[in-house]
Amino acid sequence: MSAINGQPSKMDRSGELRNSPEALEKLWSRAKVLHFADGRLAGDQSLSFLNAQDIDQKVASDEFVKGERYFLGIDTENNQSYFVWNSEWKHPKTDEEKKVGFTSLREIGANLPPLEIELALHAVALSNWHNSHPCCSKCGAQTKVDLGGAVRTCIKDQSQHHPRTDSAVIVLVRDKDDRILLGHQPVWPEGRFSCFAGFLEPGETFEQCVSREVFEESGVTVSQINYLGSQPWPFPASIMIAFEALVDDPKSARPDGDEITEVRWFSRDELKLATTDGTLLLPPAISVARKMIERWFSAKDGRGLTGGETWR
């Protein structure tokens, strides 16, 4: 979605305003609003923005329920406030009907400008969290939106619950000949390969997680672990922490047979040939996995990488 090392934020999240319902209401009256419904955002080839009056009309027309609204921040360059409106259709819709006028972040993420992709990532991640935390984890009572959507507060014991983001590492494994090792998951179509990844476990550093995940999935031991960057990945609530690492024992590479059923070493020429003839499918262009592979591929002589891609 963004380059591996990322860019400075386009948004001021303005946390100091979240304690003021009056300030948020004023911002809402002139805000640009993303509409999130059942995992999709309003739009087609690009995002569609609503205003407060549009939303009032959609609720009054009995098309959507009132829903919840969350403050995303202010684009200080244009002094424009942004919110997301998290609302569902009031009457049952088929999956195909829900696609009319709505799109997914997976479908359009690669084509969005920096400000819009930042807004979309924030909106989707925040809405997903709110949808999955309607009740207090301490007492089971209902929770309500508070602080502009930054937290949910229990209506019974007043405890605050904050959005959860699951940390996961993703690793580009290289050997001394500058080949990369990619793996195939059984849920993917034939020919789909990507970098190794896994969730951080309690009490574990990112570097320890890198070593463990790579060894568990591919059987190789890594060294010289270097941080590359990060990427929000709200499918539904992750952030990908990207690393590269070197191995001294490339011949020991083998799939674990469970999460990974095939591993392959690729030189640049082998990767280029396989993507060109269609025998290799790479991660989608918006993913940090694809950015890592492209960064490695172009490092030697600047050649670009093209070819098929797939989510699954």
312 residues of the chain, pLDDT tens digit each: 344 556 788 899 999 999 999 999 999 999 999 999 999 999 998 999 999 999 999 999 999 999 999 999 999 899 999 999 999 999 999 999 999 999 999 899 888 999 999 999 999 999 999 999 999 999 999 999 999 999 999 999 999 999 999 999 999 999 999 999 999 999 999 999 999 999 999 999 999 999 999 999 999 999 999 999 999 999 889 999 999 999 989 999 999 999 999 999 999 999 999 999 999 999 998 899 999 999 999 987 656 777 667 666
CA angle at 45 for the pair 44 and 49, rounded to the nearest 5°: 60
Return the pLDDT at 35: 98
Report whether CATH 3.20.20.140 matches the domain 166-298: no
So what's the pLDDT on residue 10?
Answer: 85
Domain ranges for the chain, please list them.
15-132, 137-163, 166-298
Q: 């007492």: which residue's tokens?
A: 139
pLDDT score for 189: 94
Non-local (6+) Cβ contacts of 80 within 8 A are 31, 32, 74
pLDDT score of 215: 97
pLDDT for position 160: 96
Tokens for 278?
Answer: 């269609």
State residue 312's pLDDT score: 60
> What's residue 302's pLDDT?
57
pTM of the model: 0.89
For domain 15-132, which CATH number applies: 3.30.70, 3.90.79, 3.30.530, 3.30.2010?
Answer: 3.90.79
15-132 against 166-298: fold identical: yes
Q: Return the pLDDT at 78.
A: 93
Strands 166-174 and 238-247: parallel
Rounded to 5°, angle at Cα 218 from 212 and 224: 55
What's the pLDDT at 306?
A: 72
Q: Which amino acid is at 167?
A: S
Tell me whether strands 102-103 and 40-42 are parallel, antiparallel or unpaired. Answer: antiparallel
pLDDT at residue 5, rounded to an integer: 54
In terms of Cα–Cα distance, which of 65, 2, 79 is closest to 36?
65
Query: What is the pLDDT, as a whole number, of residue 170?
Result: 98
Q: For residue 138, give the amino acid letter.
A: K
Residue 246 corresponds to which tokens in the numbers above? 């070197």
Q: What angle do CA 45, 48, 53 make, to 5 degrees?
A: 160
Report which of 95, 96, 125 is spatially closest to residue 109, judged by C-alpha positions.
125
